[in-house]
Structure 1
């Protein structure tokens, strides 16, 4: 794990990249900050987490780091030990953790709970939605540290790396670490409700778009040509034919739209 810092003092803000070794977009954003060394108004801790997996260009070495928290300093797996080290580094910090996905090109934010801090910060980020994932947070960084997670775009793309840089700077501006102003935007809010299981098959198809409502009775996916039909309406999140080994993605409900406050005349 690589740990660096911008500014002097004890950081209360941390930027985390490289939780998964096959998602290098956030690492690019951290490296650019380290190259530029911008003047900050409050100290920021910069972390590249799973260096071993990044070097091997694999998601993880022994187990998924984002399912291994809070970890164990005496663990026998690389990721469980690393999880414990990362939790210690993030003590008393708000973490901004960057990921990428095979399911959706447009960035979106993921939070464990819809807190006042989340509703304040996420509309200031260049994201299309905020997703609450409390029912599925076990073992994730959320469960061990205050975290706002972002999916920066499609895994391995230059666009995801550019988005990661833009998202990081917007976050650091929103928390007062970088000077300047952010752009407030209306933001739809979703909550994950269930996992869409994927049976073992040779071919998989997905017929729906993420964040677009699927009416009850509509087909949404197929495994080896066997179509799955929606029993009730839902919004698909992280839905793809090849993103996860055993699930297509998640069902979600739409909770709200966070709206920007109009400026008084």
Structure 2
């Protein structure tokens, strides 16, 4: 784990990248910021987390780090130990964590809960939506640390790396660490309601688009040609044919639209 800092003093803001070793977009953004070393109005902690997985270009070494929190410094797994160290390092920090996905090209934000702070900050980011995990946060970083997580784009793409840089700088501007103004957006808000599981199969298909409502009776995915049909309406989130080993993605409900009115202090 590589920990660096911009500015002097004790940081209350942190940026995290490289939770997964096959998602380099945020790592590139953090390294670029460290090369530039801009003057900041508030100290910022910058962490590249799973260096061992990044070196191997794999998602994880022993287990998914973003399902391993709070971790244990004496854990048998690399990620279990890493989770505990990261929680300690981020104590007291509002954290911005960058990821990428195989399911959706347009950036969106994920939060544990739609708090007042999330309502204020997330609409200032260049994202298309905000997703609340609700009951599906177990083991994730924001189950332990106040975190705004962003999916920057398609895994391994140059666009995701460019998006990560824009998203990180917008966040640091919104919290008053970098100078400038942010653009305020109206964002739809979704809440995860269920996991869409998939059976073991040779081939998988997804027939629907993320954030587009699936109607009752619509086929939305298939395993070896066996179609799954919606029993009730839902919005697919993080749906892809091979993004996860045991699930296609998540079902969600649409809650509201939020719009930030002023830059956070």
After TM superposition, the score normalised by the length of structure 2 is 0.98
User: Counterpart of 1:60?
Assistant: 60
- How far the C-alpha of 1:75 sits from its partner, in A, is 1.0
1:135 is paired with a residue whose SS is coil
Conserved 8 A contact 2:119-2:259: no
Q: Does 1:190 align with 2:186?
A: no
1:92-171 matches, cutoff 5 A: 92-171=92-171
Question: In structure 1, what is the equivalent of residue 24 of structure 2?
Answer: 24
Structure 1 stretches of 5 or more lacking a match?
Answer: none
1:15, CA displacement in angstroms? Answer: 0.2
> Which residue does 1:88 correspond to in 2?
88
| Structure 1 equivalent of residue 49 of structure 2 | 49
- Asked if the contact 2:40–2:178 (Cα under 8 Å) also holds between the matched residues in 1, the reply is yes
Q: Give 1:144 deviation, angstroms.
A: 1.1
Distance across 1 between alignment mates of 2:145 and 2:111 = 11
Whether the 8 Å CA contact 2:215–2:232 is kept in 1: the answer is yes
Structure 2: distance between partners of 1:125 and 1:177: 14
Secondary structure of 2:135's match? helix
Alignment-derived partner of residue 173 in structure 2 = 173
Whole-angstrom distance in 2 between the partners of 1:197 and 1:143:
22
Residues 4-19 of structure 1 mapped to structure 2, 5 A cutoff = 4-19=4-19
Q: CA deviation at 1:260?
A: 5.2
RMSD in angstroms over aligned alpha carbons? 0.9
How far apart are residue 76 of structure 1 and its match?
Answer: 1.4
Shift of 1:143: 1.1
Instruction: Provide the secondary structure at the position in 1 that maps to 2:22.
Output: coil
C-alpha distance in 2, partners of 1:176/1:75? 37
CA contact (8 A) 2:120 2:260 kept: no
Cα distance in 2 between the residues matched to 1:20 and 1:257: 30
Residues 2-26 of structure 1, C-alpha deviations (whole Å, 9 max, x = no match): 0000000000000000000000000
Q: Which runs of 5+ in 2 are unaligned?
A: none
CA distance in 1, matches of 2:80, 2:261: 43
Residues 260, 72 of structure 1: alpha-carbon distance in 2 compared, 3 angstrom cutoff: closer
Tell me how many residue pairs correspond in the alignment: 262
Give 1:251's aligned residue: 251
- Secondary structure in 1 aligned to 2:252? strand
